């Protein structure tokens, strides 16, 4: 990577950074991977971050995946989140090594949500049920967007998630029960919408029963 390119990625004007990332992705060079990953950790503009991710997907996974797996252990939340997002876009199963139980419980909601999405993409065949158990420990976490992200991740695992959801539906915490039931409702009827599923689940929990429809 030339000094000019490095300056372009750090330029004050986001349009310059966007064009630079586009240029780097258009002519992949493994020597550029480190600078792209480092910029992802601090880039404030969403569109530029997406272009940086695209540029990384243009490089060979053998060069990008190890760098991104290492970045997932960063102390910076944005670095972790963007690295996970990029791993999910690359889709190389070697990225699964980055998905630890601690990461699925990351204290930063955005990092956790990105980890859930990445985990569903990268989980090896046959390990979906175990992943569902890990995801189910986060039921009732956070606000609407966080809960919806978790529900979508569990639904994406298909039937492998059903035992974990069934166990959670009997959890002593009514919020956990309601979230598990809402997820199951949404799985059965995706057109119902998350808010309706949540309200139905709360009704069932309030009545002290399980939704078996």
Per-residue pLDDT tens for 78-119? 999 999 999 999 999 999 999 999 999 999 999 999 999 999
At residue 212 the predicted structure's pLDDT band, cuts being 50, 70 and 90, is very low
Average pLDDT over residues 23-38: 95
- On average, the pLDDT of the chain sits at 91
- For 138-162, the pLDDT digits (tens) are 999 999 899 999 999 999 999 999 9
More reliable by pLDDT, 199 or 167: 167
Within the chain, what is the greatest distance between any pair of CA atoms?
66
CA distance 200 to 106: 29
Tokens 């999405």 found at: 117
**Residue 132: is its pLDDT beyond 60?**
yes
CA distance 22 to 164: 42
CA distance 164 to 159: 10
Query: Would you say 145 and 179 are in contact if contact means Cβ atoms under 8 Å apart?
Result: no
Say what percent of the chain tops pLDDT 70: 88
For residue 71, the number of C-alpha atoms closer than 13 Å in the C-beta half-sphere is 28
8-state DSSP, 61: H
8-state DSSP, 106: -
Helices 46-57, 77-90: crossing angle, 10 deg rounding: 40
Average pLDDT over residues 32-58: 97
The pLDDT score that the predictor gives to residue 173 is: 94
Copy the structure tokens of residue 39. 């910029």
Domain spans, the chain: 1-122, 129-213
Tokens 């002290």 found at: 208
The pLDDT score that the predictor gives to residue 209 is: 54
Cβ contacts of 49 within 8 Å, gap of 6 or more: 40, 43, 82
More reliable by pLDDT, 211 or 204: 204
Q: Say yes or no: domain 1-122 is CATH 1.25.10.10.
A: yes
The pLDDT score that the predictor gives to residue 211 is: 47
The pLDDT score that the predictor gives to residue 200 is: 59
Query: Would you say 92 and 124 are in contact if contact means Cβ atoms under 8 Å apart?
Result: no
Kindly report whether the global pTM for this prediction surpasses the value 0.95: no
Copy the structure tokens of residue 25. 């992705």
The pLDDT score that the predictor gives to residue 213 is: 41
CA distance 81 to 110: 7
- For 159-186, the pLDDT digits (tens) are 999 999 999 999 999 999 999 998 998 8
Nearest to 155 by CA among 137, 174, 135: 135
Average pLDDT over residues 124-128: 96
């Amino acid at each position: 990577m030339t000094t000019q390119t490095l300056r372009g990625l750090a330029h004050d004007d986001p349009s310059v950074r966007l064009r630079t990332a586009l240029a780097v992705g258009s002519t992949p060079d493994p020597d550029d991977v480190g600078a792209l990953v480092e910029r992802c950790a601090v880039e404030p503009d969403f569109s530029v971050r997406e272009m940086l991710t695209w540029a990384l997907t243009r490089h060979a996974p053998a060069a990008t995946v190890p760098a991104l797996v290492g970045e997932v252990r960063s102390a910076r939340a944005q670095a972790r989140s963007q690295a996970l997002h990029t791993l999910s876009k690359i889709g190389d199963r070697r990225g699964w090594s980055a998905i630890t139980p601690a990461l699925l419980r990351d204290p930063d909601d955005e990092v956790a949500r990105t980890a859930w999405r990445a985990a569903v993409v990268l989980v090896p065949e046959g390990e979906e049920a175990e992943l569902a158990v890990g995801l189910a420990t986060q039921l009732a976490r956070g606000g609407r967007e966080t809960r919806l992200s978790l529900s979508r991740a569990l639904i994406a695992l298909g039937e492998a998630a059903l035992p974990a959801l069934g166990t959670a539906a009997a959890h002593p915490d009514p919020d956990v029960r309601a979230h598990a039931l809402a997820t199951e409702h949404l799985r059965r009827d995706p057109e119902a919408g998350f808010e309706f599923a949540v309200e139905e689940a709360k009704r069932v929990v309030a009545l002290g029963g399980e939704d078996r429809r």
